[in-house]
A and B are shown apart, each in its own frame.
Chain A
Amino acid sequence: MDLLSFVNFYLVPGIVAGAIYALGAIGVTLVFGVLRFAHLAHGDLATFGAFLVLALVGAGMTPWLALPLAMAAAALTAIALHHLFYAHLSRRSAILTVISSLGVALMLRAVVQMIWGVDTESYVSGIDRPQSYLGIRLKDRELWTLLATAGLVVGLLVFLGRTRWGKALRAMSDNPDLAALSGIDKRLTTALTWGLAGLLTAAAGFFLGLNTEVKPLMGWHMLLPVFAAAILGGVGRVEGALLGGLLIGIVEECSVLLLPAQYKSAVAFAVLLVMLSARPSGLLRGKVL
């Protein structure tokens, strides 16, 4: 196999899948960095976002208008979920919140299935033929996925690094008591964290649906690679989640060279296992934004 077909058949699909994982993993890492718990409802929130876009597209909207609306709706949903299910547990042991988020995951999925049914859907019909860019074949939807991911990540990094609110978020993640004593409102920062996580997660759901199919279990199945990506990159680090997502995506696609394709989704699990046994302190050390 020559280099170009490796790039076209393994590397490009890997990077596209990785970009989607990265969007999910950044949300996981933000929630962990500020609130210190693993949010298991993240995948189903992505599903919810993907189906919201589907509903809006079904009502005649273009996907590029439907996506921002669905992202905003998912952000508000994430904030509401926090207030309904997680906020009152915040002073108790973190495992209670984690288990509670598992319950929220099941509820979100049930809501999706109740409203939209259990069938597999898609945003557009017809075949999206790849265009050639200097020999690298890229479908339009893949190009859009990569551009949107890049835009969202750059936007988030600028927000965290440059704005007063970004600093407040990093400060809260770094030292919550000191942040509160420095005049940073914990409730607002928490809401902001959930808002950002909701935005990114809905985008991840949409792009996953755009590149594969829209179905009620899509987000749940994405949860494992997303957590593997967040841990691989160092939990709490936005750049880490991006890197981890891309690596997991590429490794998954390339594994098909050696393993039967059915084992693809086990690869993220293997990476997660290796990471946890080689660097178990990565998660517990609780790195900060």
Chain B
Amino acid sequence: MLALTGLRRSFGGFTAVDDCSFTVSEGTITGLIGPNGAGKTTLFNLVAGLLRPEAGSVTFLGEDITALPPHARFRRGLLRTFQIPQEFHRLTVLENLMVAAAAQPGEEIWANWLAGRRVRAREAAVAARAGEVLDFLGLAPLAGTPAGRLSGGQKKLLELGRTMMSEARLVLLDEPAAGVNRTLLREIEDKIERLNRSLGLTFLIIEHDMETVARLCDPVICIAEGRVLVEGDFATVRSHPQVLDAYLGEAGL
């Protein structure tokens, strides 16, 4: 579904991603692990289009998307979330979800004038869908609140909500477990699994919490110094000597 080939990206003299290649198969929850500074977040930004690679290509659903801007990648079904949840502070929770709904006729500027009824019908459908998502997440009482006022955990849930609103095929999750208490973490894991099973959403997840990786992810890809070290199921990757080295090396610092 997603294939990275020979990606490279450096910042000044530091090469964050260096000749990195791997694929993500449809329907999987693929884990991406690696020590701090291994290039995981840079990889996500390269895939989502926030950064352009210096070399290599990104292929999504058989199409080379290396040169596409972020919004065009989103419309093809690629969604990226952030380690620190991002939201539109001054937009309400409901509006935040509505912005994430894909391929709306209102996006075409002329449709606002020429096909007002169609736009309004679609807008109403999006609002209804957003209502359902809020119910699913338990955020319904906060629909009219500016999203900037939500707690950290609620923002995490809102990010999942954006995932559900978009018609995404592949979701890039950046550390869903970071800064979340155990109860909420279980809830988030459970929702990721249900989205994967019932909607067939594919996930690529950066995660440091090894319990979460063990429960959710198969396969797991470990990267270090900007390139793939080992790929396989969690048990294989965890016990691989090079992986142990990479993490112990970091601990040694």
Residues of chain A having any CB pair with chain B under 8 Å: 163-165, 167-168, 170-171, 174-175, 177-186, 188, 192, 288-289
Contact = CB atoms under 8 A, between A and B. Distances in A.
Contacts of A182: 71, 74, 99-100, 162, 166
B74 A174 contact: no
Given A171-B99, A186-B71, A181 B88 contact: no
Given A168-B99, A181-B79, A184-B71, A174 B88 contact: yes
Contacts of A185: 69, 71-72, 107
B75 A183 contact: yes
Interface stretch (B90-98, B133-141, B180-188): B90-98
Interface string B98-135: 11101110110100100000010001000000000000
B74 A170 contact: no
Interface string B73-95: 01100011010001111110001
A181 B95 CA distance: 16
Contacts of B109: 165, 188, 192
B70 interface: yes
Given A167-B99, A170-B90, A186-B69, A181 B74 contact: yes
Contacts of A188: 109
A77 B51 CA distance: 31
A192 B123 CA distance: 20
Contacts of B213: none
A184 B75 CA distance: 9
Nearest to B73: A181
Given A174-B88, A178-B88, A181-B50, A167 B112 contact: no
B48 interface: yes
A176 to B, nearest CB: 10
B208 to A, nearest CB: 22
Given A164-B119, A167-B98, A180 B106 contact: no
Contact of A288 (B71, B89, B98): B89
Given A164-B107, A171-B88, A171-B99, A177 B74 contact: no
Given A178-B86, A180-B74, A185-B71, 12 more contacts: A164-B104, A164-B106, A168-B107, A170-B88, A174-B89, A174-B90, A175-B86, A181-B71, A183-B71, A183-B102, A185-B69, A185-B107
A174 B109 CA distance: 21
A183 B74 contact: yes
A7 to B, nearest CB: 36
A179 B69 contact: no
11 contacts: A164-B106, A164-B119, A165-B106, A167-B91, A171-B91, A174-B90, A177-B50, A182-B71, A184-B99, A188-B109, A288-B89
A174 B119 contact: no
A164 B90 contact: no
Contacts of A179: 88, 99
Contacts of A181: 48, 50, 70-71, 74, 79-80
A180 B88 contact: no
Nearest to B89: A174
